[in-house]
Homo-oligomer: A and B are copies of this chain.
Amino acid sequence: MPESYKVGIIGAGRIGRIHIENLVYQIPNVTLKTIADIHITPELNQWINNLGNLKITHTPEEIFEDEEIDAVIIASSTDTHALFIQKAAKAKKHIFCEKPIDTNISRIEHTLEMTEEEEIKLMIGFNRRFDPDFRSAYEVVKKGEIGTPHIIKITSRDPAPPPRDFIKKSGGLFADMTIHDWDMACFLSQSEVVEVYASGGVLIDPEIAKLGDIDTAVSMLKFSNGAFGIIDNSRQAVYGYDQRIEVFGSKGCIMVDNKPVTNLKIFTEKETKEDKIPYFFLERYKQSYINELRYFFNCLREGISPRPNGDDGLKNIIITRAAQKSFEEKRPVKISEIIP
């Protein structure tokens, strides 16, 4: 019988609740024991009670100090991630932390050093690697079915811009949207990014410009093995959440297209229609959140170091920094310019 784990989670916001539901219903041999959140509203209290016999607390310390708890899920706000990783590591608990680790490179490096000393497992939540379709594509590439990757293409467009408050604090399009695509490009290429050229502009909403951000971007990556990556982003694809990947290699090409919500095809005198593609990221990536946690606990069971790990998380931040610099200075920027 597989080893079972007791878990605490910090943060019961939108993404935290996804993990909580998945822990309760979808992850076998794992028991969620404690939920910590700084704002325990009556509504949250009620929601948690409906899920069964769970402990709710204001203080994450209750999780760190609980000897029964083996692993901590960190789903609190970004500015708390590094601190909670450090505390959990000190408490010898395995850690699954939402992306990003932090926005400060030195703080990330310091945090990662600590986790290494404590010999616990740390996984960062770049969930798209666990989307069943993208994962299958990765497996095909890894098996060599399409040879050596030459060009990785990622299309990543949101259905609608986020609220202004989010944009103000997000760190910009490259930090909040493209970061997922850097991770996917690295994952699929099985190589290291060495250079970034990023360009973009405001084509959708002038208000976004006023907030200092862009809404449309195209980025080009060079990998250490000579391969190229091209990514295009938009904050507003009116037809839905457009998420596609393509890996072109020496022996073939693999493409993963969007899946319409249903498989209906309607033929009329006027036109042929398919169903629309999903609109919400939670609908599109639902299974990836389940699969990433299953994988995390399987890694614990088998003593494997999970990926994406802290280094992956750090690299994605560094690429973001390079992209931002490229965008500002209107020139390709080497990764070595960011981390000499």
Contact = CB atoms under 8 A, between A and B. Distances in A.
Residue of A220, A228, A267 with most chain B CB atoms under a 10 A cut-off: A267
A113 to B, nearest CB: 35
Contact of A52 (B52, B151, B253): B52
Interface residues of A, number: 68
Contact of A266 (B25, B203, B252, B330): B252
A312 interface: no
Residue of A140, A266, A330 with most chain B CB atoms under a 10 A cut-off: A266
Interface in A93-151: 132-133, 136-137, 140, 145-146, 148, 150-151
Interface stretch (A37-45, A163-171, A236-244): A236-244
Given A218-B230, A259-B263, A268 B248 contact: no
Interface of A: 25, 52, 132-133, 136-137, 140, 145-146, 148, 150-151, 153, 155, 157, 197, 199-201, 203-204, 216, 218, 220, 222, 226-228, 230, 232, 234, 236-240, 242, 248, 250-269, 271-277, 330-332
A32 B255 CA distance: 44
A83 B259 CA distance: 45
A55 to B, nearest CB: 17
5 contacts: A146-B268, A204-B250, A232-B248, A272-B273, A272-B274
Nearest to A52: B52
